[in-house]
Amino acid sequence: MSLLDMVREAGVIGAGGAGFPTHAKLTSKAEYILLNGAECEPLLRVDQQLMKLFPDEIIKGFEAAGKLVGAAKGLIGIKGKHKEVISILRNRIKALQVSDFIEVKELPDIYPAGDEQVLVYELTGRVVPETGIPIKVGCVVVNTETALNIYHANLGEPVTEKYITVAGDIPKRLTVKVPVGTPIIDVLKLSGIENFDDYAVIDGGPMMGPVMDNIDGYVTKKNKGFVILKKQHSLIRRKSVNIEQARRVNRSSCEQCRMCTDMCPRYLLGHNMQPHKIMRALNYALDDVEGQKIAQLCCQCNLCELFSCPAGLYPKSANLYFKGKLAEQNIRYKPIKSQFAARKSREYRLIPSKRLIARLGLNNFDRPAPMTEVNMEPELVHIAMRQHVGAPAVPIVNPGDYVQVGQQVGKIPEDSLGAAVHASISGKVIESENGFIVIRRE
Ligand code: SF4
Ligand code: SF4
């Protein structure tokens, strides 16, 4: 079986949160392959520890991915502050004799260094065009954990476990590996908290992750971290505002100061994303469809909403509002040029992570979350058929069947973009409906 087939059979998807099926990404031909080890979301600590613990595996998985796309160069992007990890990676690259192909490049400690387009610019100096993806400028980007999973796929080992940081206002911060399909509440309880009545949980990083409506779900291959904060924490209060509430506040008090635009990472890359204009459209020009289309250039990094706006308004939510309206009418932004250059002011307007963390009120929780061995052996796992971008997997087992850990239980539907899913424990299938295969440990 070719490596590409093995990656597909192993169900590898973008582990950084996007969930795009990796085999589909690796069919492209690219000049550069880039490893996204930026991990720019405050408090999350997965990638930096994986690179320290499994440098050889990650380098080999990354190299294999690079060869698949025919890349001439592989660049590992990691923040310069992780000096020990950088030194380990550089030593191992030399020892594995792949220095001709792979190089480590240090990223500034800014948010959002891990945004794919920011990463491409920082590592190659190229700007992905508006509405484009990195392959438009000859780059394919893979996440650190994805590279590790490619390495394992090459050995015939599918993705059945996930690395997750549990962080926030909790007694015990840690990073753990748990079976896919584990009840999220079991993972949250590793924090030392038993009763979550007074807490809210962010699924992912504090900037882009949503506040969870309920914590009764199950771990998927996309989960990266859970940030647990008291319900009255200012970040939870701000993130809990819905689009309609945000729209009402936005309409009352935008002073058109442009701070949201001047610090927008996409604007600084030379794109036409100008959230202050979207705020203007919301207030004065609800019929100006042309003006609203730029909302589609927003990557939802949340910087404008959680950092830039001095009035505490919600420009990103305004973008989301218009994105939704335009999608309903099938209207799309069309770039008027194909070449873009970063704005000259960019280097003066980058947002240091430390300032962001302080603004978010997370200083007290910006602590290590060490990789910790836990004995996570859930009695039941719920394997979601949709853990990825594309069509949900099709179950290939039935209630009553016995499955082994690593056995494929859901396949990619014919001629579709999707990803296979696998049993994360050995046992009996007791249910296969509502988008889940439920396995009881035996
Ligand atoms: S949304 Fe905030 S930052 Fe943007 S223009 Fe209005 S007041 Fe200024
Ligand atoms: S969320 Fe705000 S800062 Fe981020 S890309 Fe969108 S408009 Fe720009």
| Domain match, 129 and 173 both | no
> Of the bound ligands, which one is closest to the alpha carbon of residue 279?
1
Cα of 264 vs centre of ligand 2, distance in Å, is 5
| Domain match, 84 and 210 both | no
- 89: tokens are 């990676």
Question: Has residue 189 been placed in a domain?
Answer: yes
CB 148 within 8 A of CB 138: no
| Domain match, 35 and 61 both | yes
Nearest CA to ligand 2 atom 6: 298
Q: Quick count: other Cβ atoms within 10 Å of Cβ 196?
A: 15
| Domain match, 250 and 317 both | yes
The pLDDT value recorded for residue 289 is 81
DSSP label of 39:
-
Q: What is the DSSP string of 369-435?
A: --B-------SEEEEES--SSSBPPEE---TT-EE-TT-EEEEPPTT--B--EE-SS-EEEEEEETT
Q: What is the pLDDT of residues 17-73, one digit of tens each?
A: 889 999 999 999 999 999 999 999 999 999 999 999 999 999 999 999 999 999 999
> Of the bound ligands, which one is closest to the alpha carbon of residue 111?
2
| Domain match, 10 and 145 both | yes
| Domain match, 10 and 148 both | yes
| Domain match, 165 and 284 both | no
Question: Has residue 178 been placed in a domain?
Answer: yes
Cα of 266 vs centre of ligand 2, distance in Å, is 7
The count of domains in the chain is 4
CATH number for position 111:
3.40.50.11540
Question: Has residue 401 been placed in a domain?
Answer: yes
Lining residues, ligand 2, CB within 6 Å: 264-266, 273, 275, 298-304, 315-316, 319
| Domain match, 40 and 147 both | yes
CB 154 within 8 A of CB 10: no
DSSP label of 392:
P
| 3-class secondary-structure state, position 372 | coil
Question: Has residue 143 been placed in a domain?
Answer: yes
| Domain match, 286 and 312 both | yes
Cα of 265 vs centre of ligand 2, distance in Å, is 7
Cα of 148 vs centre of ligand 1, distance in Å, is 41
Q: How far is 2 from 150, CA to CA, in rounded Å?
A: 12
| 3-class secondary-structure state, position 97 | coil
Q: How far is 234 from 372, CA to CA, in rounded Å?
A: 29
Question: Has residue 238 been placed in a domain?
Answer: no
Nearest CA to ligand 1 atom 3: 309
The pLDDT value recorded for residue 250 is 84
CB 325 within 8 A of CB 295: no
| Domain match, 194 and 129 both | no
Question: Which of 301, 322, 356 to mutate for ligand 2's pocket (most ligand atoms within 8 Å of CB)?
Answer: 301
| Domain match, 32 and 132 both | yes
Nearest CA to ligand 2 atom 4: 301
Question: Has residue 123 been placed in a domain?
Answer: yes
CATH number for position 365:
3.10.20.600
The pLDDT value recorded for residue 287 is 72
CB 211 within 8 A of CB 236: yes
Q: Quick count: other Cβ atoms within 10 Å of Cβ 113?
A: 23
User: Of 154, 171, 196, which residue sits at a domain end?
Assistant: 154
Domain region containing 394: 379-442
Residue recorded with tokens 């438009």? 136
Q: Which residues neighbour 130 within 8 Å (Cβ) at sequence distance 6 or greater?
A: 271, 272, 297, 333, 335, 340
| 3-class secondary-structure state, position 302 | coil
> Of the bound ligands, which one is closest to the alpha carbon of residue 283?
1
CATH number for position 297:
1.10.1060
User: Which atom of ligand 2 is nearest the CA belonging to 298?
Assistant: 6
Cα of 279 vs centre of ligand 1, distance in Å, is 7
Instruction: Report strand pairing: 427-433 vs 402-403.
Output: antiparallel
State which residues of the chain have pLDDT below 70.
285-286
| Domain match, 283 and 338 both | yes
Instruction: Report strand pairing: 32-37 vs 73-79.
Output: parallel
- 353: tokens are 């992570």
User: Of 154, 173, 196, which residue sits at a domain end?
Assistant: 154
Cα of 128 vs centre of ligand 2, distance in Å, is 16
Question: Which of 263, 276, 304 to mutate for ligand 1's pocket (most ligand atoms within 8 Å of CB)?
Answer: 276
Q: Which residues neighbour 53 within 8 Å (Cβ) at sequence distance 6 or greater?
A: 371
User: Of 154, 169, 199, which residue sits at a domain end?
Assistant: 154
